[in-house]
Amino acid sequence: MSKKNTKRILVTGATGQIGSELTIELRNTYGCDNVVAGGHKRAPSEKLFQSGPFEFVDVTDKQSIETVVKEYEIDTIYHLAAILSATGEQDPQLAWSVNMNSLYNILEVAREHKMTGVFWPSSIAVFGPSTPRLNTPQETVLTPRTMYGTTKVAGELLCNYYFLRFGLDVRSVRYPGIISNETPPVGGTTDYAVEMFYEAIRKKRYTCFVREDTVLPMMYMPDCIKAAIDLMESDASRIKHRASYNVASTSFSAGELAAEIRKHIPDFVCEYKPDFRQKIADSWPTSIDDTVARKEWNWNPTYDLASMTRDMIEKLTKKFET
């Protein structure tokens, strides 16, 4: 395939929870040499490092992004680097600085280099206590109480502005909590769902930092990756929402997750000791209405609680055996 008809992609935050798996999938889809993994603090896994180009990118420094963009003739960016909700509450200034400056830099570089596409994940954190919590609609009140959520609302508006004002093809989804078994998440409120699996397999015990009855929308990594790629592959004429699509997969309480894990690991014990993250979880929806994404670009998740749990336990068990 010539360079002209294939994408040349940069993934920022490529060593993170989503990036480490999305980068590999993008390499499988578009060719290994066409997908540059951009990392900053975390070292890349062997798999990520060996399967294609890896570059150091500081997303808060426009020059650093631009150097890689020029060197690899990048035309599409998946901008994943961010500070998540829990870390963001501990250091709101850092969250604003990293999340907003990086998005602005990415959008500016994409505009200046006339790129064909940008993907940027928003989050259920854009919603707040005054948003309807059950089946949260696509168009609704966005008054989050966290700095992370505030940067996501501002980011959605900025993406929409770049589309309207400069015609930049920016696309975005509001991810729920993402559950995965490759790279653990860092600093998020929904991280307990991932930790519960790891600890159930390693120690058969877990102390959960939210209450047992805390219900949040969640998604398994294969569906998370599918959402990003399906949205980016859709014909531009179908994308009517630039300030981010609701996407949902499944919702469950921490207690329901523990019970589902117990079907596979009967002696698993879960205790509940809520900390400051409970307040963040309580300000987010319990379920999401994603009919607009389903209609406009055929969003259709694959996993539910039972199939996700089965797959997570199988994969993690293998991982800890080796």
Under the binding rule (CB under 6 A), the answer on residue 216 touching ligand SER is no
Under the binding rule (CB under 6 A), the answer on residue 24 touching ligand SER is no
Q: Which one of the spans 36-44, 107-115, 183-191, 314-322 is the region binding ligand SER (CB under 6 A)?
A: 183-191
Query: Which is closer to ligand SER, CB of 77 or CB of 216?
Result: 216
What does the DSSP 8-state code read for residue 238? G
Q: Which one of the spans 35-43, 57-65, 186-194, 263-271 is the region binding ligand SER (CB under 6 A)?
A: 186-194
Under the binding rule (CB under 6 A), the answer on residue 210 touching ligand SER is no
* Residue 308 to residue 266: CA distance in whole angstroms: 17
Residues 6+ away with beta carbon under 8 Å from 190: 176, 177, 178, 216, 218, 281
Q: Could you tell me the CA-to-CA distances from 240 to 72, 164, 226, 303 in Å, in that order?
A: 31, 12, 19, 26
Query: Which is closer to ligand SER, CB of 148 or CB of 206?
Result: 148
Identified binder of ligand SER from the candidate list 84, 118, 170, 293, rule CB under 6 A = 84
What does the DSSP 8-state code read for residue 294? H
Element of type H or E holding 261: helix 254-262
Q: Which one of the spans 27-35, 185-193, 239-247, 253-261 is the region binding ligand SER (CB under 6 A)?
A: 185-193
Under the binding rule (CB under 6 A), the answer on residue 144 touching ligand SER is no
Catalytic residue set: 148
What does the DSSP 8-state code read for residue 32? G
Query: Which is closer to ligand SER, CB of 162 or CB of 175?
Result: 175
Asked if 223 contacts 249 with a C-beta cutoff of 8 angstroms, the reply is: yes
- Which residues share a beta bridge with 118? 77, 170
What does the DSSP 8-state code read for residue 136? B
Under the binding rule (CB under 6 A), the answer on residue 246 touching ligand SER is no
Q: What is the distance between the terminal CA atoms of the chain, rounded to a whole angstrom?
A: 38
Query: Which is closer to ligand SER, CB of 84 or CB of 115?
Result: 84
Under the binding rule (CB under 6 A), the answer on residue 123 touching ligand SER is yes
Which residues contact ligand SER (rule: CB under 6 A)? 84-85, 123, 125, 148, 175, 177, 188-190
